[in-house]
Amino acid sequence: MQRRSYDRLRMLLSVAGLLIAAYLTLLHYDSNVPLVCSGGSLVNCEQVLTSSSAFVAGIPVAVLGVVWFVVEVALALLSSRTRARGEPAWLRAAGFAWVLTGTAAVLWLVYQELGVIGKICAWCTAVHVIILALLVVQVQSDPLRRAAGPR
């Protein structure tokens, strides 16, 4: 896959994650926004989103998700715009660090859902999958990795 395709995929995933995080944030602050999610035995978005695990230092995790995806979109834009001149090493490192931070948050949140709450949120799972996909894209698009070639 060409670097430009990775940039487009990264941007698409980032925007999709931002939209989901924005929707979940609206749910926290506007009771008129309907929750579109099943309330089954394992999948129960309402229980997850209203649990104490849905907040970090009093801030809804969804708000932190919006912030994370805004930064990811900015990093993706910077990365794609500097590609012609050669992506600076600091920007590549920042992208890796940011997506690793997101991955660590995903691991913690999945533990909270399954280990603490005992339920999962379908919307949250979608965001988790997007962040893990962004990790794969970040690794696959690394020019140093591609330059080394197969081993």
| 28-51: pLDDT as tens digits | 999 999 999 977 789 999 999 999
Mean confidence (pLDDT) of the chain? 90
Copy the structure tokens of residue 51: 């649990």
On whether residue 100 sits in a domain, the answer given is yes
On whether residue 124 sits in a domain, the answer given is yes
Tell me the Ramachandran region of residue 96: left when phi exceeds 0, alpha when psi lies from -120 to 50, beta otherwise: alpha
User: Domain range for residue 25?
Assistant: 3-144
On whether residue 150 sits in a domain, the answer given is no
Among residues 36, 53, 38, the alpha carbon closest in space to that of 105 is found at 53
Copy the structure tokens of residue 121: 């949120």
Q: How many structural domains does the chain have?
A: 1
On whether residue 149 sits in a domain, the answer given is no
Give the containing element (helix H, strand E) for 55.
Answer: strand 55-56
**Taking the model in full, what pTM does it have?**
0.89
On whether residue 90 sits in a domain, the answer given is yes
